[in-house]
Structure 1
Amino acid sequence: MARSAGFTLLEVMVSLAILATAFAAALRLHSDSIGILVSTRIHTKAAELAQYKMTEIEIDGLKGVGPSSGDFGELAPDYVWETRVEDSPKDYLKLVTVRVRNRHTGRAGEFELSEYMTDKGALTHVKGPPKK
């Protein structure tokens, strides 16, 4: 009996199974990359907003700044901020920490920025360099 040219049903089924596995793997990689992209955007936005809030504090000065919290209003309605001011070994320096997080992702979308700032009110009591 002569064999006709072509593929057997088994060969077609095996090749379809291989293609389906490769397609599923490609979809998984695509899904993971979208998740990473979204996470990166949330974290980057939180970092930008933390710098924005820190700049506000730098401009306004430390007078009246203490533990507080709030949101960014229309600028970024999904994000909230908290500030904390701690003493440092030097009287004229304060450690200011700004924490920004996304309301929907919680700690996954959180960014914290800390910076030493000069307490201008304390500088009036600091003596200048020695006179020669």
Structure 2
Amino acid sequence: MSQNQHQKNRFTTPFGDHPGDLPVEPGRYRLIWSPHCPWAHRSVIVRKLLGLEDVISLGSVNPIRSEQGWEFSLDEHGVDPVLGIRYLSAVYFNSDPEFTGKATVPALVDIETKKVVNNDFSALPTLLGNGLGSFS
């Protein structure tokens, strides 16, 4: 896979009222991003424009990916203060113990289950927009 190609998104659950959809609960989700990733900027911008800062928390990984993947080394003690993890891959493996791809950003994480629920960089901004009415 070349540097400009993206792996297939593994987690693509939408918000909604259908079985298997994400429940709309303010404070339940955390959006993980890196300032180094242009694809992650879109979701962060949409979150800001829609006024979802108090509804969906934001976590940042180090802009330089280590050998173990995206790391929360910018946070105190190198651990995300909400999820309690050092590497983003922990929530990917918690979501699917047989996950073999790279942990990518942006990633929407369910704080209660500590699982990635959506990492679809192209659809996540729309997902946030569609869920706005339900979050208010």
TM range (shorter): under 0.3
State the structure with more CA Rg: 1
> Which fold has the larger relative contact order, with Cα–Cα distance below 8 Å and residues 6 or more apart in sequence?
2
| The structure with more helix, counted as a fraction of residues | 1
| The structure with more strand, counted as a fraction of residues | 1
TM-score, normalised by the number of residues in structure 1: 0.25
TM-score, normalised by the number of residues in structure 2: 0.24
